[in-house]
Structure 1
Amino acid sequence: MNNQQVDCDCDTVPQPLLSVDKALEILTSSIKVTNDTQLIALDDALGRVLATDICSDIAVPGFDNSAMDGYAIHLQEEQINTSGGFVFEITDRIAAGNMGNTLLPGCAARIFTGAPTPKGANTVMAQEECELIDDSTKIEIYRPIALNENIRPLGNDIQLGDMILPKGKQLKPQDIALAASVGVGELKVFKQIKVGIFFTGDELIEPGNTLKQGKIFNSNRYSLVAMLNKLGCEVINLGNIKDSFDATCDALKRLQSKCDLIITTGGVSVGEEDYVKPAVEKLGKLDLWRIKVKPGKPLAFGHIDNTAFIGLPGNPVSAMVTFFLFVQPFIKKMQGINSYQNQAMQVQCGFDWHRPRPRREFVRVRLNHSTVPISAELYSKQGSDVLSSMVWADGLIEVPEDSAFSQGKILNYYSLT
């Protein structure tokens, strides 16, 4: 069975085609969001999805502190915002992590960034604005001084009880740092979903082997594993299996018993001879869709008991684009991520489009940052077999159905990075 053959690009078919939006709606509305959770250490939390809101038990900072190296001063009322020339006696030295003594009027304490401002201090002066005098026992300041200069107040960042990270957030390095800043040592996250994959086709050869006449290297296997790893899935990869109905059924059964989702590529076009379709239909339920999209018209979706199944088209570009459009938001929602939809930005097209077509197209582009505003450049070859275009491109431009335009048109751009 040819898992990476050319899809039919014929736009006229006897059966109605699903719109991209309708197909995505059907997919995402059928998802059972995982509710299995686990506690993990902060070091292991990158990319995981929070299973509960995180609220702070402390204020951050927990005390007034100095924003810079300098001198904490007890400024008297008559000195506030008046002309400079004030002299303060240095009576203390406060490093970060230490508490200083009470600061009396007319006195100053040498203080360092992050150190608690002592009781009595009501402003901090940067060290370069202070002149040491009398054998460095005093400082003199020549400009007017305001209250609370360079003092970071208690709770300036986070107040006691603040919700700092919401349930459903996929954790980035800065999120983990924020949790650590309020003393959270472990995070409750959703367990990784398990995605099973396998590939059929007598024409497929693993990279590293000799390529014989009529055979092709199985690139889909590696793009699929990489995209699933990027999403933080636990991948169960059966690799290439024997091209038979019984072997296909056996592979589906093996994965169904341990996976939340099964994905294959190829063999989902109407009328194509393939064992995946009848095997899924025997073990569960399968809907074969034709979607009003290019590249990647054919898509299969179904279930084997409680395990979802998605069959992607076989062309390398079609498989990657439909994964991005449909499988990525499907998996993100299943993982419990709040913002699971692909996010678009408005970009100016740096190319003409004079061939209106009835399917919505997602064309491979690269952003040109030398133009104002930034514009999208079109890859010269948009065939679904041109895998090198996915390496050249940094995103996709969404071209609406039946549209034609000249350079300067503003359209949705989706980053692939």
Structure 2
Amino acid sequence: MTLSIEQIAAQLQGYDPQALSAEAVGEFLARLVTPLRETESVGPREALGRVLARDLVSPLSVPPHDNSAMDGFAFDGAQLASAPLQLQVVGTALAGKAWQGTVGPGQCVKIMTGAIMPPGLDTVVPQEFTRTLADDRIEVPAGLLRPGDNRRRKGEDLMEGRPALAAGERLGPAACGLVASLGIAQVEVFRRLRVAYFSTGDEILSLGEPPREGAVYDSNRYTVHGLLARRGCEVIDLGVVRDEPALLEQAFRDAAGRADAIITSGGVSVGEADYTKAMMKKLGDVAFWRIAMRPGRPMAVGRIGESVLFGLPGNPVAVMVTFLAFVRPALLRMMGARATAPVLLQARSAEAMRKKPGRTEYQRGIVTRDAAGALEVRTTGNQGSGVLSSMVQGNGLIVLHHGQGNVAVGDAVDVMMFEGAI
């Protein structure tokens, strides 16, 4: 059942749209968005970044047989009770086909990496650890091995009939390779999420327009496009929409008719002299928030038609921070991905930072290693929400949590690394 903004708000204890914590925003959005249902089948190459729609059950075991983990000599490990152990080499097992001979007590087979272990043999001694004797015999030093060493067991990676990948898995390079390793040519994934985006404001210039006093070139369309493309979304760029009711209404209706989600930047701050908020109210079920965070305090969320709306602030850094903190997890949920808590790195602060409890701050940081090899982080300097160059200089966001106070030099802080997020 689709819940209204009012119904979702009623489920959140202490909900206050004018003083909303970052944690409450996450809880709200988890209730607002719902996963896609439509799926399609794609090959392993095309599956990169897509979300698996059904459990993928392994049609075979990997490896399909017990095999050798290295080049050496295979033998029955029970014989290790004799030390040092001398063995007669009676043949060679190559990768790609089973050795057809038999091996008795006191005998072994020279074996290559990946070769099937002959029946009755369970242990491999690496070739470099043996001593060659006369008459095709080898000696295995005492205390070197235990029975079963250097053998890969059948199905130790994947077992036939069991799930190899779970529904909701976002498929990375390793998962795509795993699909191929099972001989599977097509996997069922959720279709790509369609996201429409536009910037608002009469002060925004598109590329190709001449500069004019009081106007700025639009960077948000390009940062948001990059963030969405990294998520594997189908991006619908609706350009810059001037602050005129008819144009805004046309843009919102167009976006709602074509996309699963709509993202806008600008026009959501209290007292802004434009029509964006009014049009959101007219066309949809929308909440307007003041979030206890820095940067990125104003935000609008809701629905217009069947599309989920994310109205982000206009400043370039605030757009990226609110996207990473709130929009990205919501879009992943819409894509069908399993909900996972963000992985935060811990590093020692190389500088003191002033912070009042009662809001979450996301400061642009540079993580490096100190002389002892420990991770440390320092800010990029000016933390203004319009300083886009700080997002280029930094490699992560220092996350100073809601209840956290001042940070002293040497204190441990959490960092949301850009690699994998941006």
Q: Same fold (TM over 0.5)?
A: yes
Which bin holds the TM-score, normalised by the shorter protein?
0.7 to 0.9
* Distance change (3 Å), C-alpha of 1:223 and 1:101: same
- 1:381 corresponds in structure 2 to 382
Cα distance in 1 for partners of 2:17, 2:140 equals 84
- 2:83 corresponds in structure 1 to 83
Does 1:153 pair with 2:153?
yes
Partner amino acid, structure 2, of 1:81: A
Matches within 5 A, 1:17-416: 17-73=19-75, 79-84=79-84, 86-90=86-90, 92-105=91-104, 106-130=106-130, 138-144=136-142, 147-207=147-207, 209-354=209-354, 356=356, 358-370=358-370, 373-399=374-400, 400=402, 403-416=405-418
Cα distance in 1 for partners of 2:111, 2:172 equals 34
Contact 1:87 1:141 survives alignment (8 Å): yes
* Distance change (3 Å), C-alpha of 1:367 and 1:139: same
User: RMSD value over aligned CA atoms?
Assistant: 2.5
Q: How many percent of aligned residue pairs carry the same amino acid?
A: 34
SS at 1:226 equivalent: helix
Q: TM-score, normalised by structure 1?
A: 0.88
* Distance change (3 Å), C-alpha of 1:238 and 1:115: same
SS at 1:327 equivalent: helix
- 1:8 corresponds in structure 2 to none
TM superposition shift of 1:408: 2.6
Cα distance in 2 for partners of 1:406, 1:129 equals 54
SS at 1:80 equivalent: helix
Cα distance in 2 for partners of 1:345, 1:330 equals 21
**1:203-249: per-residue Cα shift (whole Å, max 9, x none)?**
32233554333321110110010011111111011112344211111
* Distance change (3 Å), C-alpha of 1:109 and 1:229: same
Moved more, 184-193 or 322-331: 184-193
Count residues with an aligned counterpart: 399
TM superposition shift of 1:356: 2.7
SS at 2:370 equivalent: coil
Partner amino acid, structure 2, of 1:138: D
Moved more, 203-212 or 237-246: 203-212
Can you give the 5+ residue segments of structure 1 that lack an aligned partner in the other structure?
1-13
SS at 1:25 equivalent: helix
**1:151-187: per-residue Cα shift (whole Å, max 9, x none)?**
2222222333332321111111112222333333221
* Distance change (3 Å), C-alpha of 1:139 and 1:406: same
Cα distance in 2 for partners of 1:256, 1:177 equals 37
**1:110-153: per-residue Cα shift (whole Å, max 9, x none)?**
3211011222434333223445566xx62322524754342222
Can you give the 5+ residue segments of structure 2 that lack an aligned partner in the other structure?
1-15
Cα distance in 2 for partners of 1:190, 1:340 equals 18
SS at 1:257 equivalent: helix
Moved more, 58-67 or 344-353: 344-353
Contact 2:197 2:262 survives alignment (8 Å): yes
SS at 2:45 equivalent: helix
* Distance change (3 Å), C-alpha of 1:414 and 1:104: closer
